[in-house]
């Protein structure tokens, strides 16, 4: 009899554990991760719909030789409809860009607004050249009110000598004729996470979904000076209370399609006073150049909600989080990168990151490589401006032995529908499997095509009254 009581207690504890893995769900079915475990993905797959491309365009004359004739003038990267993606100043005969575009997009239009010359160049072309005609149009006289080298007509901050160009990420490439570049057309990142790392989750990828966007301000000589991040908690179906932060890196170049990143000196990135809710957002006391957006998702929302089909639902856009920051030199190439991290509210060292991104200095390293995680475990070098690493790092951090992630990233101009609690994302989005197994080259807009079955996907957009 005693034995039976012990068994009952043990079963209760175990069942309790299962429930806590999804505390907001009344359905006791254990997570299935239906079909996800058998996904076979190619080496190096980033589980992002984005191609994060840094590249240079060489200005050449009519004979194909390098030309300095556009030096000091702007050269725009636009979509095929002429909507602006990034404007830069040509320096030493070259224009340097950073675009984050859906992997299906290859053609980018380049336009010299002062000389009215346009060329479409494929991103897959290794040596990108912008060829000038034999006879250049004479340039009208322009005014540069703030003397930063960028004419008023092309200066997004015509009376601020420190700033010249405003650039949005993800890049607002538009296939319709809607106008972008003036902020009327917005594309957002959705960062979708499983919270049970280093154990496998159920791959509904809805435990925390953050919708965010980045506005970046560059000087007339193309240096990243400041910016803004905007956030919404799209879903909060996590078993455990989660916090969320953003860490900045120095971008020093590319190796193939990987980013070469470095850590920055302490306090090179600083929050702008008054630009954020200081009850929620703050510098991360344990990580240089990183900001905690919120310590607890529950606190970050005006109303408590889950938006995963169980528990309460509410308009996520009603609770806006934002911060402005400034960048101090040095940054090599004037450019940077920023990556998110999640952590357990009650255990800061328990961190989850997008696949391939090393943990922050606050992470508990003994968790790496435990349970289903196959992250590297060797000591990591965080020396600012010295240690350099490739992102995504190989072998990848925050991946299983099968290179399955705990976090994925998409960019979307619409309102993402999400898998119901415990519905595997591959059941909610039938195109997901081929996207993953192709390494992100097929079904590049899988997130636009959820199943029609309203018991499998939750329409978060239906909760939004106004935008
Ligand atoms: Ca100016
Ligand atoms: Ca200016
Ligand atoms: Ca989950």
Query: Tens digits of per-residue pLDDT, 86-135?
Result: 999 999 999 999 999 999 999 999 999 999 999 999 999 999 999 999 99
Q: State in Å: Cα 423 to ligand 3 middle.
A: 9
Q: Which of 354, 398, 353 is nearest to 377 (CA)?
A: 398
Could you give phi then psi for residue 461, rounded to 5 degrees? Answer: -60, -30
Whether residue 409 contacts residue 47, with contact meaning beta carbons closer than 8 Å, is answered with yes
CB atoms inside a 10 Å sphere around CB 210: 28
38 within a domain of the structure (yes/no): no
Query: Which residue is associated with the tokens 């902020």?
Result: 183
Separation of 343 CA from ligand 2 center, angstroms?
39
Whole-number Å distance, alpha carbon 336 to ligand 2 midpoint, is 21
Token readout for 333 is 């190439």
Best CA proximity match to 350, nearest among 199, 197, 206, 238: 197
Pair of tokens at residue 104: 């299906």
What integer pLDDT is reported at residue 4 of this predicted model?
Answer: 43
Residue 144: inside a domain, yes or no? no
Cα 456 to chain centroid distance, Å, stands at 26
Looking at the chain, how many residues does it have? 467
Q: Is residue 413 part of a domain?
A: yes
What's the 307 CA to ligand 3 centre distance in angstroms? 13
Measured between alpha carbons, how far is 412 from 7 in angstroms, rounded to an integer?
50
Does residue 444 sit within a domain? yes
Ligand 3 centroid from CA 424, angstroms: 8
The set of residues, in sequence order, having a beta carbon less than 8 Å from that of 141 and lying 6+ positions away, is none
* Cβ contacts of 424 within 8 Å, gap of 6 or more: 32, 33, 34, 35, 36, 202, 203, 204
Same domain for 100 and 191?
no
* pLDDT of 466: 57
The pLDDT value recorded for residue 181 is: 54
Question: Ligand nearest 208 Cα, by number?
Answer: 3
> Ligand 1 centroid vs 91 CA: distance in angstroms?
16
Residues 321 and 437 in one domain: yes
Q: Of the bound ligands, which one is closest to the alpha carbon of residue 235?
A: 3
150 CA from centroid of ligand 2 (Å): 7
pTM score > 0.85 for this model?
A: yes
Specify if 148 maps to a domain. no
Ion ligand 2 — residues with CB < 5 Å:
146, 148, 155, 157, 160, 164
Q: Which ligand is nearest to the CA of 143?
A: 1
Claim to verify: residue 227 and residue 373 sit in the same structural domain: yes
Predicted local distance difference test score (pLDDT) of residue 23:
43
Tell how far the Cα of 95 is from the centroid of ligand 2, in angstroms: 18
Answer whether 86's CB lies under 8 Å from 78's CB: no
Q: Note the pLDDT of residue 339.
A: 97
Domain holding 91: CATH number?
A: 2.60.40.1120
| Nearest ligand by distance to the CA of 149 | 1
Interstrand relation of 107-112 and 407-412 (parallel, antiparallel or unpaired): unpaired
Cα of 88 from ligand 3 centre, angstroms: 41
Strands 407-412 and 188-193: antiparallel
Ligand 3 center to residue 408 CA distance, Å?
12
As given in the structure block, the two tokens for residue 324 are 């402005």
The gap from C-alpha 257 to its chain's centroid, in whole angstroms, comes to 16
Distance CA 185, CA 76 (A): 17
149 CA to centre of ligand 2 in angstroms = 8
Q: How many angstroms is it from 320 CA to the middle of ligand 3?
A: 24
Looking at residue 34, its pLDDT comes to: 64
Domain of 96, in residue numbers: 49-134
Predicted pLDDT at 167 = 96
- The residue ranges of the chain whose pLDDT is under 70 are 1-34, 176-183, 466-467
The answer as to whether 44 is a domain residue is no
* Cα 330 to ligand 2 centroid, rounded to whole Å: 20
**Residues 203, 130 share a domain:** no
68 neighbors 428 (Cβ within 8 angstroms): no
| Residue 456 CA, ligand 2 centroid: distance in Å | 50
> Is 328 part of any domain?
yes
The total of structural domains in the chain comes to: 2
> Which ligand has its closest atom nearest to the C-alpha of 219?
2
Give the ligand whose atoms come closest to the C-alpha of residue 164: 2
Q: Report how many helices (DSSP H) and strands (DSSP E) the chain contains, helices first.
A: 4, 23
Q: Which of 101, 118, 134 is the last residue in one of the domains?
A: 134
Of 310, 362, 357, the C-alpha closest to 338 is 357
Task: Identify whether the C-beta of residue 160 lies closer than 8 Å to the C-beta of residue 89.
Answer: no
| pLDDT for the residue numbered 33 | 55
146 Cα: distance to centroid of ligand 1 (angstroms)? 5
Residue 3 lies in a domain: no
């Amino acid at each position: 009899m005693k034995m039976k009581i012990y068994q009952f207690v043990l079963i209760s504890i175990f069942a309790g554990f299962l429930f806590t893995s999804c505390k907001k769900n009344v359905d006791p079915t254990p997570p299935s991760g239906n079909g996800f475990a058998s996904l076979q993905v190619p080496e190096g797959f980033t589980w992002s719909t984005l191609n994060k491309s840094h590249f240079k365009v060489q200005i050449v004359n009519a004979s194909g030789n390098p030309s300095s004739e556009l030096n000091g003038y702007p050269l725009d990267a636009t979509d095929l409809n002429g909507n602006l993606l990034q404007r830069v100043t040509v320096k030493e005969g070259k224009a340097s860009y950073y675009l984050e575009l859906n992997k299906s997009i290859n053609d980018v239009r380049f336009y010299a607004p002062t000389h009215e010359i346009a060329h479409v160049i494929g991103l897959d072309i290794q040596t990108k050249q912008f060829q000038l005609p034999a006879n250049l149009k004479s340039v009208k006289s322009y005014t540069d009110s703030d003397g930063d080298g960028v004419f008023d007509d092309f200066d997004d901050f015509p009376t601020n000598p420190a700033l010249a160009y405003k650039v949005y990420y993800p890049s607002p490439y538009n296939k319709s004729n809607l106008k972008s570049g003036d902020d009327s057309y917005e594309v957002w990142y959705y960062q979708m996470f499983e919270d049970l790392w280093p154990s496998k989750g159920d791959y509904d990828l809805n435990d925390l979904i953050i919708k965010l966007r980045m506005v970046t301000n560059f000087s007339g000589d193309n240096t990243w000076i400041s910016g803004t991040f905007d956030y919404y908690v799209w879903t909060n179906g996590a078993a455990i209370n989660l916090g969320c932060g953003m860490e900045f890196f120095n971008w020093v170049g590319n190796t193939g399609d990987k980013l070469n990143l470095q850590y920055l000196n302490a306090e090179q990135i600083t929050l702008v006073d008054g630009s954020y809710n200081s009850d929620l957002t703050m510098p991360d006391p344990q990580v240089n150049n990183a900001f905690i957006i919120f310590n607890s998702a529950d606190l970050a929302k005006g109303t408590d909600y889950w938006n995963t089909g169980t528990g309460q639902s509410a308009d996520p856009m009603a609770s806006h989080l934002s911060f402005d920051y400034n960048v101090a030199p040095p940054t090599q190439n004037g450019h940077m990168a920023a990556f998110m991290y999640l952590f357990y509210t009650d255990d800061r060292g328990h961190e989850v990151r997008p696949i391939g991104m090393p943990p922050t200095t606050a992470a508990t390293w003994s968790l790496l490589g435990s349970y289903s995680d196959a992250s590297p475990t060797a000591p990591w070098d965080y020396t600012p401006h010295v240690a350099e690493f490739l992102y995504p790092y190989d072998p990848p951090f925050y991946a299983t032995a099968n290179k399955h992630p705990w976090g994925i990233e998409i960019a979307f101009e619409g309102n993402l529908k999400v898998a119901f609690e415990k519905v595997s994302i591959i059941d909610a989005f039938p195109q997901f499997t081929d996207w993953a197994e192709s390494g992100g080259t097929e079904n590049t807009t899988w997130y636009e095509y959820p199943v029609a079955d309203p018991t499998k996907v939750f329409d978060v957009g239906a909760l939004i009254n106004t935008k």
